[in-house]
Amino acid sequence: MDHNPSSSRTDRKTIERNRRNQMKVLYSKLNSLVPHQNSREVTSLTDQLDEAANYIKKLQTSLERMKEKKDSLMGIERSSNNAGGMMISSNSTSCGGVAAGVKSPQIEIHIIGSALEIVLITGLDFQFMFNETIRVLHEEGADIINASFSVVEDSVFHTIHSKIEESTLGPGAAARISERLNKFIDDASGL
C-alpha cells in the first residue's frame, strides 16, 4: 500500500485546525457565562480563563456562605467549629441537663368558619418549624393572609392566619390540615 506523505500532513493540519476551532468555540461559551465589567475591552485568552476561574471560585465561596446561612436559619449546627450553627445564649439556665433554650414545640389551631389561626410556640432551636408549617399550608392549598412572630425570652411565638375555601379544597380541609400540623409537631418533639 502506497502512503502519500503530503496527504497525511494535510489530514493532521485539518485535524489540528478543527481542534483549535472547537477550543475557540468552547472558550467563547465559557467567556459568555462570566459577567464582564468592561465588555468592550479585548482581553487575552489567558486573562479570560483567569477571570472565569476567579468567578467560579467566587461563586463557590458565595454558595458555601449561603448554605451556612440556610443551616443557621434552619437551626442546624455544622460540625466544623460550629460555623453557622445556633448558639444558646450564655445566660440560659440548665434544668435537669437540658438548656432553657431547648423547648418542645407546641401548636394551637383555631378553626373559625373558613379562617384558620395557627399559634406555634417554639424554643429558639426550633425556628425552622415555622417554615415547615407554611409549607404544609401551601401544600394543602390554604391562602396565608398574615404571618408574624415575637420572641419572649427563650420562646418564639409564631401566629399564622390563613383562609380555607372548603369548596375548592374539599370537605374536611381544615381538619386535615390540623391533623397534619399536629402530627408534624408531635414528630418534631420526639427529636
CA distance 156 to 88: 14
Annotated domain spans of the chain: 5-74, 99-189
- Helix, strand or coil, per DSSP, at residue 13: helix
Give the type of residue at 58: K
Q: Which three cell numbers stand for residue 87?
A: 448558639
User: CATH homologous superfamily for 5-74?
Assistant: Helix-loop-helix DNA-binding domain (4.10.280.10)
> What is the mean predicted confidence (pLDDT) over 64-84?
64
pTM: 0.43
- Residue 38 pLDDT level (bands cut at 50, 70, 90): low
Q: Are 116 and 162 spatial neighbours (Cβ–Cβ below 8 Å)?
A: yes
CA distance 60 to 51: 14
pLDDT at res. 44: 84
Rounded to the nearest 5°, which phi and psi values hold at 152?
-125, 115
CATH 3.30.70.260 corresponds to the domain 99-189: yes
> What is the mean predicted confidence (pLDDT) over 131-135?
86
pLDDT at res. 112: 82
